Structure formats: C-alpha cells, structure tokens
Structure 1
Amino acid sequence: MGTTWQLRFAAAPGVDPAQLRVAIVARLGTIIAEMSHWEAASRLSAFNRAPAGSWHRLPPDFAAVIAAALDIAEASGGAFDPTIGRIVAMRGFGAEPAPASPDAAAIDRARADAGWHRLAYDRGAQRLRQPGGVALDLSGIAKGYAVDAVAGLLEDFGIRHGLIEIGGELRGAGIRPDGDPWWVDLEDPPGAALPRLRIALHSLAVATSGDYRRGAHTIDPRTGRSTAHGLTSVSVLHDRAMQADAWATALTVLGPDEGFALATERHLAARFLWRADAGVVERITPALQAMIDG
C-alpha cells in the first residue's frame, strides 16, 4: 500500500509479539495480493484486465470491500467511486508514470468507461462482473479495511486493548495499561492555528483525507477533474475504519457545503477544514459535537 503500520497493545497472557507480527504481516499480505492496484498479479489487476462480460468470484476480503464501496458510492451520489482507476493512473497516481495533466478529451474517454453503476455485483455468490473497460482503484477504502482486519486479528489472539495505525488511519479498542483511553489528536494541515481536538478511540476508528498529504489527489469521480472548493481536510470517526476511510474520501470530494450537509444527514461524526482568507476554518458535524460534549 506504499505506507507503514504500527501497533500498540496491552499483551494478553501467552501472546508472543514475534508470532503476532508474523500473523499481521501475513494478513496484510493477503489484502495486498487481492486489492493492490500496484501489483500486476493482484486479483484487482486481473479484474481490470478481464474481458467485457466476464464474471469473477471474489475472495472474502475483496468481496467485503466491494460491497461497502458500492454502498458508499450510491449513498454519496458517486462522490466515492471505486471505478476511477484509469483516471487516477492518467493523473500520475497509478503504478506507472504518467503526465500529471492529461488532455481533457482523454479524461472524458476514461470517465465514460468508469462509473460504479456499471458494475454488477452478485452479493450472494460474491461475483463481480467486468462490464468492459472498468479499472478498479480501492485505495480510498482498502487501507481502512486493512485496519479493521488487523483489529480482528488482535481479537483472535485474545488481545482486547490496542491501537492499530496504517498510513494515518487508526482504530482503538479497550484502554491503555495505565487506564487511560487511546487518545489521538485529529490531524491538522500544516500551518493551521487550531485548538487541538483530542478524541478517545474506544471501539472507534478515525480516518483523514487531506490535500496536504504526500501524494494526495482529490479527484471528483463525477467529472474526472480535481476538486476546486478549497476543502483541505476531512476527518471521519466511525466504528469501522473502512467506512471512516471511504466517507472521508467522499466528503472531501463533496466539499464544505454539500459534504457537510450529507454528513449531518447521515449522522456521521466528521470535522471539515478549509482555507479562507483569515486562515483555516473548522466546522464540526452535530454527531461529532455530541461525542465531544458527551
């Protein structure tokens, strides 16, 4: 995934940290082998190369992510879309080098081949149909899923208290050995003079989408172009890191007005930051405010 992971935990009796590390690396390796668009041999890359009309039975991890991705694509009106892999690659954010500013006609052609609504997914049989020309890119949701997967692995090892972080996405469970919760500060863009907003991750995950991150690229799937509404960061808290990850991406695309309205409507705990003449402006949804007050 082009990033790092780290784990802090209160060890349960009999847990061997070295054995746990091996298990985590293997678990993440399975996810990468299924859903990495950087790996030519991944199941996702194979789907992207598949002929039109072909059906593909998905392994459990891939199936869980596709189901959630399609749900959030529909709920966000296409602001989150797992089918824009070709557009992402054309903008220079894929596995192969590409010009950062492709011509408009090329973007429009790639956008015509994309669209989450073109995918047919049989949830019962966990089969996905390649309609032809669709290139999946799950980078806006798979990292969050990986956080959830490691959290599940900890439970398998009998570990009930821990904090897992992958590339800035976090999920906490239980409490620290000193009795405190797993406190984390919501991520701020560089130079933002904002009061620190600290959240206790107790059975809770947080993901942040920001235009200041290394390699950040906020592409509106509905147009194929970069967003231009000035929103610099969205943090979303959810009980699942996968949903937090995808919703942070979708709300960043929608912007400070449309995104905030949708987050409020769906009772999402989110913080929006955007740049104004006076500096960085913060807006917090009612669901997040209730967490802070409570």
Structure 2
Amino acid sequence: MRIALPPTIDAAAFAARDPSAVLLDLHGETMGTSWSLRFAAPAGTDPTPVRAAIVARLAGLVAEMSHWAPDSLLSRFNRSPRGTWTTLPPDFAWVMARGLAIAEATNGAFDPAIGTLVNAWGFGPFTVSAPPNAGAGGTARASSGCSRLTLSTTGGHLHQPGGVALDLSGIAKGHAVDVIADLLHDAGIRNALVEIGGELVGRGIGPDGDPWWVHLESPPGLTLPPLRVALHGLAVATSGDYRRGAHTLDPRTGCPIDTGVVSVSVIHATALDADAWATALTVLGPDEGLSLAENRRIAARIVTLIDGDVREYLTPALTAMLVD
C-alpha cells in the first residue's frame, strides 16, 4: 500500500482534537451529481442547520455558474450582446480569475470559454445529431477561447466580445468543494471531509486523531497499485472520460483528446486548482503534462491506456509525498 502524506501538518488541529466528538454524515444532490460531508461534532449536535446552509450555498453557486440552467448568470452572459459587460458576484469573479490564470499557465490546454465547442460536440445541454464537420467545428473554435475575454482589473466585470460561451464544468465544482469547506470552518466546524462528484477537500482531523484518508480514484477495469492519501489541508480531483458526463475536448484543436490518458488525479491546496489542473493535464497528455506539472510542482498521477498497455506516471511532487 502506497501512502501519501501532506507536506505540512497543522499541529493546532491535533492539539484541539476532541476524542469525545462523533462523526456525522450528510448527503445531497447538486450540479448533476451528489455531495457528501463527514464532520466531527460534539455528541448530540443537530446537523439540520448545517445541511440547510450547504444546500442554500450550493444553490447560489448553481444559479451563478451552471451552463445547464438557462436562467443562470453564466447562461445569461453567454447570450449577452457583443460589447456588453456583466457584473460578476465574488464567487463567479474568483473562478474566472483563476480559470484565466490556469489557461495562461497551460497555454490553453484548460480554457473556461469553450462553451460553443462543447455544445457543437453535444457534450453540453444541447443535443446534436452528429459531431461537427470541419466547417462547423472551425466556426465553433473561432468563436471560443478565453483570449477573447476581458476581465476587469477588479475582477468584478466580464466583457462579452460577441458569441463567447463559458463552460466552467472543469473548475466550478472544485470551487464548490472549497466553498463548502470554508462555510463549515466559518461555522466552527474545522474537522471535515467534503466531497462533490468525487472531488474532495479534507480539513483538520477525525476524532480518532487520524487525517481524512482517501484512495485515489482509478478507472473501472484497470488494476493499479492502491494509493492512499491523507487529506489534511489538501484537496484532490480526478479527471477521466470514464466518469459520468465527462467528455474532454482539447481547446487548442477543438476536437476530443487523443492522448491515451484515461485518468488524472491532482492533489492541491484547493479543489478549484486541483479540478482545473486535472483537466489540463488530461488534455496535455503524459509527456507535455508531466513536464508542466514538474515545472509547476504539481502533485499528480497520470494513467494512460494505449494499445492495451496501462501505465501510471507520478510527478515528483507526488512522489515526494510517499512514505513506506
């Protein structure tokens, strides 16, 4: 069994541990998937207010950034006329700022403005009868790309140049995990494991003094050496086309990827960054992706399946986390 530990340990979390605390579990649905929460609380705690706060917070994020909800702010931006500016609330503005930064860092392998391409291939909310031909694909690609966007220096306003459609499915879910973890922290719940659609954030420790242990997700049917991660002040996200509703396009070509990558897991300080980087490394493939991840000191596992040959690649940052 391979075990990955965080680079730093929060001694205060262990000093403040309450051995008499109990573990409580909550579950629900959001963003076309499920969410779950496990947290430590004093015996007799009523989790109802916690659940209500989570449901309300997630509903707010969906109302802002869902490309499936026609009345969301994102959908309204996508329909907005050329030359208009949309005022973004703080969550939306932060996601866009980070998305544009990661797009630049990955030379466009991650791009939050490929909604038109996603729709053209039928991977979004609209059904298509066939993949786009060369002409339609070229048109969709020409009208896509965050290089056409302008985000104000304050981050609060986004310019629509005409025809650009956002798709934040590769980053918004990660942000939602971070947001719920922050919500819990602000409510005094500092020991929790938050999960949305397989993306997780672990804060603090459990009542037994252990961190939150999770296994890196592997594609069905592939046998890989288990890798157990201590989520203590860390997040993990996995990208793979085997997952429900997942389809990976290369924003640079406008076509589905053909890199042989079937799964990428990224461990990061935030689920937002883990989410976006997992998508980017999936697009980049094992060679370019490993090189960039090494330069950026990103802890990641890349799994490829080429001609029946399964290979696993660990970045130096992840290898440095492993203990015997």
Out of 82, 88, 108, the position equivalent to 2:112 is: 82
Alpha-carbon deviation of 1:277? Answer: 4.3
1:125 & 1:251 partners in 2: Cα distance?
26
Residue 14 of structure 1, CA deviation:
8.2
100 and 218 in structure 1: CA distance in 2 versus 1, 3 angstrom threshold: farther
Tell me the equivalent position of 1:280. Answer: 310
Distance 1:230 1:125, change over 3 A: closer
**Following the alignment from structure 1 to structure 2, what is the Cα–Cα distance between the partners of residues 123 and 99?**
41
Structure 1, unmatched stretches of 5+, are none
Rounded Cα–Cα distance in structure 2 between residues aligned with 1:144 and 1:34: 15
1:292 maps to 2:294? no
Query: Is 1:107 paired with 2:137?
Result: yes
1:243 aligns with 2:273: yes
**Would you say 1:73 and 2:103 are equivalent positions?**
yes
Gaps of 5+ in 2: 1-30
Offset of residue 16 of structure 1: 3.0
- Name 2:226's counterpart in structure 1: 196
In 1: Cα distance, 2:66 partner to 2:42 partner: 32
Q: 2:285 aligns with which of 249, 255, 265?
A: 255
Give the SS at the match of 2:302: strand
1:156-175 maps to which residues of 2 (within 5 A)? 156-175=186-205
Give 1:102 deviation, angstroms: 1.8
Is residue 141 from structure 1 mapped to residue 171 from structure 2 by the alignment?
yes
Shift of 1:93: 1.6
Matching of residue 153 in structure 1 with residue 174 in structure 2: no
- Structure 1 residue 99 displacement after superposition: 2.9
2:94–2:155 CA contact under 8 A, matched in 1: no
- Code of the residue aligned with 1:168 in structure 2: it is G
Match of 2:18 in 1: none
CA distance in 2, matches of 1:85, 1:194: 34
Name the SS of the counterpart of 1:4 in structure 2: strand
Contact 2:109 2:250 in 1 (8 A): yes
**What's 1:270 paired with?**
300
Give distance in 1, aligned partners of 2:130 and 2:89.
34
Change (3 A) 1:63 1:250: same
> 1:8 aligns to what SS in structure 2?
strand
Contact 1:186–1:198 (CA<8 Å) still a contact in 2?
A: yes
Match for residue 58 of structure 2? Answer: 28
Cα pair 1:70 1:81 within 8 Å, conserved: yes
For residues 310 and 127 of structure 2, the distance between their equivalents in structure 1, rounded to whole angstroms, comes to 33
Q: CA deviation at 1:132?
A: 0.5
Determine the C-alpha separation between the residues in 2 that align with 1:11 and 1:243.
28
Provide the C-alpha distance between the structure 2 equivalents of 1:216 and 1:168, rounded to a whole number of angstroms. 12
SS at structure 1 position matched to 2:256: coil
Q: CA separation in 1, counterparts of 2:276 and 2:226?
A: 24
8 Å contact 1:15–1:157 — kept in the other structure?
no
| Aligned: 1:230 with 2:260 | yes
What TM-score, normalized by structure 1, do the two folds share?
A: 0.97
Question: 1:210–1:216: 8 Å Cα contact kept in structure 2?
Answer: yes
Partner residue of 2:94 out of 43, 61, 64: 64
Note the C-alpha offset of 1:103: 1.3
Alpha-carbon distance between aligned partners in 2 of 1:293 and 1:287, rounded to the nearest angstrom: 13
Structure of greater relative contact order (alpha carbons < 8 Å, 6+ residues apart) = 2
TM-score (norm 2): 0.88
Deviation of residue 216 (structure 1)? Answer: 1.7
CA distance in 2, matches of 1:263, 1:49: 35
Q: Is the 8 A contact 1:90 1:100 kept in 2?
A: no
For 2:238, give the aligned amino acid: T
Q: In the TM superposition, what is the alpha-carbon distance from 1:150 to its structure 2 partner?
A: 0.2
Q: Residue 235 of structure 2: which of 181, 205, 209 is its match?
A: 205
- Asked whether the equivalents of residues 261 and 303 of structure 2 are also in contact (C-alpha less than 8 Å), the reply is yes
Report if the CA contact (8 A) 1:12-1:158 is conserved.
Answer: no
Distance 1:277 1:87, change over 3 A: closer
Give 3-state SS (helix, strand or coil) of 2:86's partner.
strand
**In the alignment, does 2:122 pair up with 1:92?**
yes
Q: Deviations over 1:146-197 (max 9, x none)?
A: 0000000101110111100000100001111222111100011112121100
CA distance in 2 between counterparts of 1:278 and 1:220 reads 23
CA contact (8 A) 2:212 2:230 kept: yes
Amino acid at match of 1:195: P
Structural RMSD (CA): 1.4
